[in-house]
Amino acid sequence: MHEYSIAYDIYATAKRAAEDNFATKIKKVHVGVGELTMINPEQVIFLFETMCEEESLFKDCKIECTNIPVKSECECGYSGNERFVCPDCGKLPVVKEGMEILVTNIEIEVEDEDD
């Protein structure tokens, strides 16, 4: 179940970024999930939210997963979303996007310096 390790990495990344920026609260974490990652985003969301339950920095934090579609290229010049066989020449295209999991944005709150 690699969803757990992915959820933990997202949690740790958000926590580190918040601490580095002196955040008082993490409101939302945006994650891009490639079509070819073979993970279940719903499980990642559940596990992430479970990890956040006991951490005050993450109180009411939400996670939003968006799909990253496949983008591929072939040496013949083809560019598109074919994963297995180039429709122009029949060779194996190189997948350029769609295999990654990225934390794309972290929404935080910081304490006002005037307080």
Binding residues for Zn(2+): 74, 76, 86, 89
Q: How far apart are CA 41 and CA 62, in angstroms?
A: 13
Task: Using DSSP, state whether 28 is helix, strand or coil.
Answer: strand
Binding positions for Ni(2+) are 2
Angle of helix 2-20 relative to helix 41-52, nearest 10 degrees, comes to 50
Binding positions are 2, 74, 76, 86, 89
State the number of CA atoms in the 13 A half-sphere of 88 facing the CB.
11
Task: Using DSSP, state whether 21 is helix, strand or coil.
Answer: coil
